[in-house]
Amino acid sequence: MNIEYLFIVIAIMSAATFATRLPPFVLFSGRGQHPLLQFIAKYTPPMVMTILVVYMLKSVDYLSAEGFYAAIALIVTIGTHLWRRNALLSIVAGTVTFMALVQGWF
């Protein structure tokens, strides 16, 4: 346990993290209307969202019961969302389903 070391590590990691979030705003400030940047702005979100879903699902162990639970919770999430299109409701429904299955509430 070395408090000084911890302080420096926290400072470095804070700076390094901020350094990954800041550059676009500095490099392209005022040039947001450029057609290529608008193209990127429009199509990054659907691609990132697809990739994030794949990323979240890749850590699931599909040979165990967890894979089955995740599939059911996913169906509940999607089904609820197509039914009511209420983001919060869909997320809560899916999460509660997954928690109930994993923790064995039944």
Partner 1 sequence: MIRAALKTTLPIFFGYLPLGIAFGLLFQELGYPWYFATLMGICIYAGAAQFMAVGLLAAGAGFVEIAIATFFLNSRHIFYGLALLNSFGDWGLRKLYLIFGLTDEVYSLMSTIEVPEGADKPQFYFLMTIFSQSYWILGCTLGAWAGTKLVFNTQGMEFAATALFTVLLIEQWIKVRKPLPFIIALIASAIALLLFAQHMLLFAISLSLIIMMLLRVTNQKVRDEY
Q: Rule CB under 8 A: which residues touch partner 1? A: 1, 3, 5-6, 8-25, 28, 31-33, 36-58, 70, 73-74, 77-78, 81-82, 87-88, 90-92, 94-95, 98-103
CB atoms within 10 A of CB 68: 13
Tell me the closest approach of the beta carbon of residue 24 to partner 1, in angstroms.
Answer: 3
For residues 71 and 79, what is the distance between their CA atoms, to the nearest angstrom?
12
Tell me the closest approach of the beta carbon of residue 29 to partner 1, in angstroms.
Answer: 8
For residues 22 and 30, what is the distance between their CA atoms, to the nearest angstrom?
14
Return the number of the residue (63 or 82) whose C-beta is nearest partner 1: 82
**Which of left, alpha, beta for 104 (phi over 0: left; psi -120 to 50: alpha)?**
left
Tell me the closest approach of the beta carbon of residue 64 to partner 1, in angstroms.
Answer: 14
